[in-house]
Amino acid sequence: MNETEFSLLNILIAVIGGAIRVGTPFLFVSLGECLTERSGRINLGLEGTLMMGAMTGYGASYLSGSPWLGVMAAGMTGVILGGVHALLCQQQKVNDIAVGIALMLLGTGLAFFLGKPLIQPTAAHLPSLHLGSWSDSPVIQAALDINVLFVIGVLLAPAMAWFFRYSRWGLYVRTVGESADAARAMGLNVNRVRMYSTMAGGFLAGVGGSFLSLYYPGGWSEGLSSGQGLMAVALVIFARWNPVYCLYASLLFGAAATLGPTLQSIGMTWGYYLFHAAPYVLTLIIMITTSSSTRLLSGMPGQLSNVK
């Protein structure tokens, strides 16, 4: 560490910047999963949706030249996969976790299969907002180079919280998630509400995938996802099914994931293999300390308890 002069502030800013970059796909997938779970279903297939979103988003951006068309294409792919999930789950005796695992496999497989010709080409990437241009420090400039999708995600989290709380449709979703019987008594079509929720959740997960291929790390490759889609399901649980907490959880997880590389880059060289496990250990510890066997988790939709 002889000549590496570093200021604590710079590291902090770098970690925050990393948290935003790494956390954004988690944010979108966990918001999508949050919506789906609030309606009473778990969709483990979002990992497959994420990969399909990343692939179609990249492909659409490459073919059309517009990254935003890519984002839309990714979202629509997510809608289709969400629809398949919902359609299968509403059949009798079909377990939603199993369907999720199947869609994860199929989504990943299809993305790898159809994405072969997309590994080489370079597609138009999403633009970012240079919020750090006031500063001379390249570190701050880089950290505040924030993608528009992140901004949308940040606005979406409280908007979704508001939606659950105050809107009529939000009430439907919550009711269906709390008690299907009560919802039926109110005259709601339980399957339809769940289908829309899963499709909308799929849309968000698909958009999260497009962030991976169209912004960060950028490009399409088979190693693009390191389980973000699965981890987002865990994040929803420790975010207590609250969209705003999903935002915090995603950022925290993103920060934990950037800690390893950041510490190495300033010369902290010991134990990087263990640091790679930090996000997972952190999540597990939080889950263990905040769960309880005697009461249901606060915020947990009642209909999830039978699959919990």
**Sole window of 33-41, 72-80, 83-91, 157-165 interacting with other proteins (rule: CB under 8 A):** 83-91
How many Å apart are CA 105 and CA 247, to the nearest integer? 27
Among 52, 72, 126, 143, binds other proteins (CB under 8 A): 143
Q: Does 1 engage in binding with other proteins (CB under 8 A)?
A: yes
Among 234, 246, 247, 256, binds other proteins (CB under 8 A): 234
Q: Does 222 engage in binding with other proteins (CB under 8 A)?
A: yes
Contact by Cβ (8 Å): 153, 134: no
Shortest distance in whole angstroms from residue 197 CB to other proteins: 20
**Sole window of 29-37, 60-68, 173-181, 275-283 interacting with other proteins (rule: CB under 8 A):** 275-283
Judged by CB under 8 A, the chain residues 151 through 190 that form the site for other proteins are: none
Question: Hunting for tokens 């790494």 — which residue is that?
Answer: 22
How many Å apart are CA 192 and CA 176, to the nearest integer? 10
Q: Which of 40, 51, 105 is nearest to 77 (CA)?
A: 51
Contact by Cβ (8 Å): 214, 71: yes
**Sole window of 56-64, 68-76, 201-209, 218-226 interacting with other proteins (rule: CB under 8 A):** 218-226
Q: Which of 234, 192, 176, 204 is nearest to 86 (CA)?
A: 192
Q: Which is nearer to other proteins, 115 or 153 (CB)?
A: 115
Q: Does 133 engage in binding with other proteins (CB under 8 A)?
A: no
How many Å apart are CA 92 and CA 73, to the nearest integer? 31
Size of the site for other proteins (CB under 8 A): 89
Q: Does 272 engage in binding with other proteins (CB under 8 A)?
A: yes
Judged by CB under 8 A, the chain residues 236 through 255 that form the site for other proteins are: 237
Token pair for 302: 């009642």
Q: Does 9 engage in binding with other proteins (CB under 8 A)?
A: no
CB neighbourhood size of 213 (10 A):
33
Half-sphere exposure of 1 (CA within 13 A, CB side): 10
From residue 222, give the alpha-carbon distance in Å to each of 110, 116, 162.
11, 9, 37
Binding characters for other proteins, 18-47, by CB under 8 A (x = yes): x--xx---------------------x---
Q: Does 8 engage in binding with other proteins (CB under 8 A)?
A: no
Q: What is the largest CA-CA distance in the chain?
A: 71
**Sole window of 10-18, 64-72, 148-156, 178-186 interacting with other proteins (rule: CB under 8 A):** 10-18
Q: Which is nearer to other proteins, 57 or 175 (CB)?
A: 57
- Amino acid identity of residue 301, one-letter, is P
Q: Does 102 engage in binding with other proteins (CB under 8 A)?
A: yes
Helix or strand holding residue 173 (H, E): helix 168-178
Q: Does 136 engage in binding with other proteins (CB under 8 A)?
A: no
How many Å apart are CA 106 and CA 44, to the nearest integer? 12
**Sole window of 6-14, 64-72, 189-197, 245-253 interacting with other proteins (rule: CB under 8 A):** 6-14
